Chain A
Amino acid sequence: MGLPFFEIKSSRKLENAIFISILLFLFKIIYPSFTSFFGIVINELLIFSVMYFWMLYAIDFIHSKSPAPLSVVLNSGILNALIFFIISLSSSLFSELSDLGSSTNFVYSIFTTFIAFVFIGSVIYIISAFRELFYLRQQRDPSTYFNTMLVFFGLTFVSNLFTRLDPSLDYLKNSFYVVSIVLISFNSLRVAWIAFLVKKQKVYLLIISIVLSILFGFNFALTLESNIVQQLIMNFSPGLHTILNLVMIYGTIYFGVIFFTALFHLPTAEAFDRKAEEVASLMDLSKLITQVFDFKELADTVTAITTKVCNSDSAWLVTHKDGNYELSSINNIGYVEAEKITNSLLVESAYQIDEVRTINDHPIKIRIKTDIRTFNYKSVAIAPLKVHNETNGFLFAARKHNFVFDDDDKKAVGAFADYAAVALENAKHIEESLEKERLEKELDVAREIQYKILPTETPILKNMEISALFVPAFEVGGDYYDFFELRNNKLGFVVADVSGKGISAAFIMAEVKGIFESLAKLIESPKELLITANEILKNSLEKKSFVTAIYGIVDTETGSLNFARVGHTPLLHIHGNRVEQLTPPGIGLGLDFGPNFSNNIVEKEIQLNNDDIVVLYTDGITESLNGSYEEYGYGRFEKTLLENSRKSLIDLSNEVMKSLTVFSQDASQHDDITLVLFKWHFNK
């Protein structure tokens, strides 16, 4: 049920109200008193409209501020006190007027109108305030009940006219009046909002409501007995007087009901507050879980909330990490203390805490350095942080005094522990995925470095064919090969393997490339070159890193090949149907920086004949694994080389690769594969 003009804009309501008020004011100035019935009808209708439009505006006004219920109560109380003050003051200052009909002077009109407007304003505000309270915390739209009551207020207002017309019609006014009071009593029962106040507010409301109920009662009585204000209002508008009457009754009943409701709510107020706080905390927590990636921050919130909501003296959270329990957050307790108590309690319960448990009246003895202290906790609640049936930690709440934790407390601690468990799991997943992402980015960088370091093409020579095959592993393996064109038709070459993987291997590779590139032009002996390279690497290589390499020089005119090997796989020399493994002594670069390195390196020279093939490779080939962790091995490699040695170098490389792929099948390639081949073609 909607009231007329209710839907129009708030500013229009104000304009209407002001306009009609001015109209009423002018009317009252011009006709301060009248005797004709018609005059009275106009007068009453004007006043009714003024009240109605001001009410419409007041409802909007109060609602738009959405004030706290207590301040609405207080405001209506203040206006009520104002009415009381005006009535009492005027009746003590002025005696009753004997004849109102003759008092028609201008000053009197202004005074009456002013008083009447103050009363209209107060009554309207109080009705609107009650309406605001009436609508608070209602599940269904209760407007029908309230509007029906307002309609009866209106009917009572208008029925005054009938009484004026014919005193025998008095029963009409009386019956509307009674129905209004019944509706008032009925509507006064809607006080659900009281339940949602916190305890302190309820106590406050209890006091205010009894005072206001009595004050409204006084005012009601004052409007009935004859005094100057009652006379003025009656003279101004009998309808206004009736409404004033009704509002005072409404106030008396309503605040009476509020008083008793608040009174009955008081004993449960604390429990209600706690539940409300618990619900609010859980809501905050679930919001936090999705927003906070930092577990520490969340753990702090959980312990703080646990202390507060569960009414405990302290709370702390331990999480499982690397086989131990470590404190993630403490609230209101010392770090050492919490740690010791945790250990003592967990050891006692043998870590078997599957659900929330309380330990009551149990003194806990702990030793801090040489000082043995006993903590007398009244009650300690322990809740496991469980996700997928796995306990990742425990939430502790402890009370020193007061009462032991009851079932509700246990449930609350359990609920907070569950949230912490989920958050912990989330934080872990996020950290893992960040770490993975970081590693992948790092590997991208490493691969890029490697591609920039390796030669883009192989040298083209008159007497020697060269092919190079490089297959990177997912985690960059650190293989490096290169060719250097030297003076007197000589070609320097290097194949190296840096230990380790990823970006660190890639950086060492870059350094190794720099060393070989510069030394190749300066030193003509492979052995001396490698000794120098080892000395340079001494300053930059980590203790656990090393580099294996073969460095050699081929004379492209004569086919003589001179090389040295440091820790690297053998150089293979295929001639005819034979594969010769050449493994001259030499320890890897970085294994030793003293005389052990230079004393144990031997240079070897071979002579290449027509169709001879030189094979340089890294252990990525021979150490390729298949699904059952079996190595490809040197045997298979040699067999494949021999079977295909008549083919072109490119085909030979492809055959090796094919054989490797067939062998390892679906097992992933875990190291870089490098295969560099030379074939000597003299006089062809």
Chain B
Amino acid sequence: MADFNVNIRGVGSVSVIDLKGYLDAHTAPELENAFNKLLDESQYKVVVNFNDLAYISSAGLGVFMAYVETMRENKGDIKFSNMTESVYNIFDLLGFPILYEFYKDEDDAITKFND
């Protein structure tokens, strides 16, 4: 079983989720837990940092789709940053860049929230 790790950090009013390892159908519930926790704390501005993510499956992508609507309804959003090319290609093929904001750097995404 490949490793997967989720970590939540607060940067001002924005929450940053760091992903590490392999995100698939088996590890997706861990990410769901992280999002549930943010909802419990009414944190709707989320940046997901993909810097250490090696792989994402369709089930992993589904997690973002499940939560983005709630975040946006509460004047928040899920923004993506620091993606490797291979992970970005998966998002790109699916058409995510039309619906989500992608940033090279986490700070850019945070700045966008604070504007």
Q: Closest approach, in angstroms, between the C-beta of B61 and any C-beta of chain A?
A: 7
Interface contact B95-A631, CB-CB below 8 Å: no
Flag if B96 contacts A629 (CB, 8 Å): no
Secondary structure dominating the interface of B: helix
In the complex, A25 Cα to B65 Cα: how many Å? 105
**In the complex, residue of chain A having the shortest beta-carbon distance to the beta carbon of B62:** A544
The residue in chain B whose Cβ has the minimal distance to the Cβ of A570 is: B93
Is B86's beta carbon under 8 Å from chain A?
Answer: yes
Among the listed B2, B22, B95, which residue makes an inter-chain contact with A566, where contact means beta carbons less than 8 Å apart? B95
- Among B41-49, B51-59, B75-83, B104-112, the stretch that binds chain A is B51-59
Q: Which of chain A's residues has its CB closest to B92's CB?
A: A583
The reply to whether A592 and B99 contact each other, CB–CB distance below 8 Å, is yes
Smallest CB separation, A586 vs chain B (Å)? 6
B34 contacts partner chain A, Cβ-Cβ < 8 Å: no
The answer to whether A591 touches B96 (Cβ under 8 A) is: yes
B3 — nearest CB in chain A belongs to which residue?
A629
B93 and A583 form a contact (CB under 8 A)? yes
Q: Give the residue name and chain of the B residue nearest to A541 (CB).
A: B65
- B86-A567 in contact (CB<8A): no
Does A587 count as interface, using CB distance less than 8 angstroms?
yes
| Interchain CB contact under 8 A, A567 and B95 | yes
Which residues from A are CB-within-8-Å of B61?
Answer: 499, 546
The CA-CA distance from A18 to B68 in the complex, in Å, is 98
**Set B2, B25, B57, B94: member contacting A588, Cβ < 8 A:** B94
> In the docked arrangement, what's the CA distance between A497 and B96, Å?
16
Query: Contact check: which of A543, A570, A585 meets B69 at CB < 8 Å?
Result: A543
B11 contacts chain A at the CB level, 8 A cutoff: no
Least CB distance from A147 to B in Å reads: 75
Residues of B close to A586: CB separation below 8 A = 95
Most chain A beta-carbon contacts within 10 A, residue among B2, B86, B98: B98
Across the interface, which residues of B come within 8 angstroms of A623, CB to CB? 55, 57
Q: Is A500 part of the binding interface, using a Cβ–Cβ cutoff of 8 Å?
A: yes
List chain B residues, Cβ under 8 A from A548. 93-94
Q: Which of A497, A500, A566 contacts B59 (CB 8 A)?
A: A500
B59 cross-chain contacts in A, Cβ below 8 A: 499-501, 544
Shortest distance between the CB of A473 and any CB in chain B (Å): 11
Contact of B94 among A501, A570, A587, A629 (CB under 8 A): A587
Q: How many angstroms between the C-alpha atoms of A57 and B22 in the bound complex?
A: 84
> Are B24 and A587 neighbours in the complex by a CB distance under 8 Å?
no
Contact A600 B95 (CB under 8 A): yes
Instruction: Verify if B66 is at the interface (C-beta below 8 Å from A).
Output: yes
Q: Provided the pairs A567-B95, A600-B98 are in contact, do residues A591 and B65 lie with their beta carbons within 8 angstroms?
A: yes
The answer to whether B54 touches A585 (Cβ under 8 A) is: no
Closest to A625 in B: B55
Total number of A residues with any Cβ neighbor in B under 8 Å: 32
Q: How large is the interface on B (under 10, 10 to 19, 20 to 34, 35 or more residues)?
A: 20 to 34
Q: Are A497 and B58 in contact (CB under 8 A)?
A: yes
A513 touches B (CB below 8 Å): no
Contact status A587-B99, CB under 8 Å: yes
For B25, give the chain A residue with the smallest CB separation.
Answer: A501
What is the chain B residue whose CB lies nearest that of A497? B58
Q: Does B8 contact A (CB under 8 A)?
A: no
Minimal Cβ-Cβ distance residue in A for B100: A591
A569 within 8 A of B: yes
CB neighbours of B54 from chain A (8 A)? 629
Cα distance A346–B48 in the bound complex, in angstroms: 38
Tell whether, in the assembled complex, residue B93 and residue A499 are in contact, meaning their CB atoms are under 8 Å apart: no
- Please name the residue on chain A nearest to B61 by beta carbon: A499
Complex contact A588–B24 (CB within 8 A): no
Which residue of the partner chain A has the closest CB to B28? A544
B98 touches A587 (CB 8 A): yes
In the complex, which residue of chain B has the Cβ closest to the Cβ of A587? B95
Q: Is the CB of A500 within 8 A of B58?
A: yes
Determine whether A596 belongs to the interface, using a CB cutoff of 8 Å to chain B. yes
Report the Cα distance A607→B43, complex, angstroms.
Answer: 52
- By a CB distance below 8 angstroms, the chain A residues around B2 are 629
A590-B66 Cα distance, complex, nearest whole Å: 11
The reply to whether A543 and B93 form a contact with Cβ atoms under 8 Å apart is no
- Compute how far the CA of A93 lies from the CA of B65 in the bound complex, rounded to whole angstroms: 109
Q: Known: A497-B58, A500-B25, A629-B55. Contact between A544 and B95, CB under 8 A?
A: no
Inter-chain contact A631/B98, CB cutoff 8 Å: no
Given contacts A587-B99, A629-B22, A629-B54, contact A544 B94 (CB under 8 A): no
A501, B86: Cα distance in complex, Å: 22
Q: Find A596's partner among B22, B69, B93, B99 (CB 8 Å cutoff).
A: B99
Q: Is A568 an interface residue (CB 8 A)?
A: yes
Known: A629-B2, A629-B22. A588 touches B95 (CB 8 A): yes
Which chain A residues (569-584) contact chain B, with CB distance < 8 Å?
Answer: 569-570, 583
Chain B residues with CB under 8 Å of A497's CB are 58
Say whether A568 contacts B63, CB under 8 Å. Answer: no
Residues of chain B within 8 A of A501, CB atoms compared: 25, 59
Asked if A360 CB lies within 8 Å of chain B CBs, one says no
A-B contact pairs, 22 of them (CB 8 A): A499-B58, A499-B61, A500-B25, A500-B58, A501-B25, A501-B59, A543-B66, A544-B62, A544-B65, A546-B58, A546-B61, A587-B98, A588-B95, A590-B65, A591-B65, A596-B98, A600-B95, A600-B98, A623-B55, A629-B2, A629-B55, A671-B57
Q: Which residues of A are in contact with B by a Cβ distance under 8 Å?
A: 475, 497, 499-501, 542-546, 548, 566-570, 583, 585-588, 590-592, 596, 600, 623, 625, 629, 631, 670-671
Interchain residue pairs A-B with the least CB separation, the first 4: A587-B95, A544-B62, A499-B58, A544-B66
Given contact pairs A544-B66, A566-B95, A588-B94, enumerate 15 new A-B contacts (beta carbons under 8 Å): A475-B25, A499-B59, A499-B62, A501-B59, A543-B62, A543-B66, A544-B65, A570-B93, A591-B96, A591-B99, A592-B98, A623-B57, A625-B55, A629-B22, A671-B57
